[in-house]
Structure 1
Amino acid sequence: MQSLLGVSAAIDKMLAFFGKIGAWAGFLLIFAVCIDVVTRYFGVPKPFGWNSTQLQESEYWLHTFLFALMIGYAYTRQAHVRIDLVRDSFPIKVKYLVEMVGIAIFLFTYSLLGAWYTYKYALSSFLEHEMSKSTIGLSNIWIVKSALVLMFILMGFAAISQFIKALAGFRGVLPKEMIAETLGSEG
């Protein structure tokens, strides 16, 4: 079980790496929005020879990268919504079991299906050399669509990591400091 927890820790490190990149996308998004506001309302020229359409499209690209790269990391840090009205009254072993069943049936399945369908979506965009609907917009739309594939892949890795931790908790070998990161709150 310790080797599986090592795999989980390695996955968590990888997710943290992508999460940091996603955080930078968030910073760049704030910067892009500020530039957009300043150039639009104060008549300042747009940087890099961009036009308003390209600047605004870059904002939704950055939104996409922010969410796509952060979602797996956020899941492992318990930064997602939980509705624990019933689960909180369960014994801890049952909580781990509920977590494992939920991950196996819902999250992992959803991640696989999402990756499969968004892969086709991104591949089609790549093969068709899809560009912005606007003639003066950004090109290579497949890049932003590929971020959706990556999002589902990262969610799948987060599911594997959390499943391993829940399994270790169910078997009684999960270190106490990892209980909150596996079940949320105090477990």
Structure 2
Amino acid sequence: MQLINQLTKYMTYITAFILASLVLLVVYDASSRYLFSSGSTALQELEWHFFDVVILFSIAFTLKLNAHVRVDIFYEKFSPKVRTIIDIFSTLFFILPLSFLIVYIGVGFVEMSFVQNEASSDPGGLKYRWIVKSFMPLAFLLLLLQALQLLVDDVKRFQSL
């Protein structure tokens, strides 16, 4: 199971690199647009694609750090045992099924995009839209693996309480 944590960690490094690239891309795009009155549809779309990748690949890491959104006002007041039960329940009945569903359906969307050679409808836009679409099932596969790791850890914690 340590492999899953390592995978999540390395995907976070890749995400950090993409985020730094996104910042540089936005600075370049804004500078060229406002200083030189020239813009690029492809660069704007690339910004959105980088933003998508950053958000998608941050989901599993956020779960790993237990920094995801939840109603902490109630959760904090519960005993460790109740919190662990809530974590196990939410992983089993929310995170895992949703992640599996998105991976299962998402692969079909990527395949359809690839077969159709889907590209941007904007003139000068990016080609190969299947590449950015492939990040969704990949990110949720990573989330699924991280959720399984979390589930194992929570079951162990529950048994020790």
Which AA in structure 2 matches 1:34?
Answer: V
Percent identity between matched residues is 26
Contact 2:40 2:124 in 1 (8 A): no
Q: Aligned pair 1:138/2:131, yes or no?
A: no
Q: Aligned pair 1:147/2:140, yes or no?
A: no
Which AA in structure 2 matches 1:163?
Answer: L
Aligned to 1:22: 15
The one of 62, 73, 92 aligned to 1:104: 92
Contact 2:42 2:124 in 1 (8 A): yes
The one of 33, 39, 51 aligned to 1:40: 33
Contact 1:119 1:149 in 2 (8 A): yes
Ranges of 4+ aligned residues in structure 1 off by more than 6 Å = none
TM-score of the two chains, using structure 1 as the length reference:
0.81
**In structure 2, what is the Cα distance between the partners aligned to 1:141 and 1:133?**
10
Q: What is the CA-CA distance between 1:44 and the residue it aligns to?
A: 7.6
Contact 2:85 2:158 in 1 (8 A): yes
Contact 1:103 1:163 in 2 (8 A): yes
Instruction: Point out where structure 1 has 5 or more consecutive residues left out of the alignment.
Output: 1-6, 46-50, 174-187
Contact 1:115 1:153 in 2 (8 A): yes
Which secondary structure does the structure 2 equivalent of 1:131 belong to?
coil
Aligned to 2:112: 124
**In structure 2, what is the Cα distance between the partners aligned to 1:92 and 1:42?**
56
Q: CA RMSD in A?
A: 1.6
Instruction: Point out where structure 2 has 5 or more consecutive residues left out of the alignment.
Output: none
Q: What is the CA-CA distance between 1:53 and the residue it aligns to?
A: 0.4
Report 1:44-55 matches (<5 A): 52-55=40-43
The one of 156, 159, 167 aligned to 2:144: 156
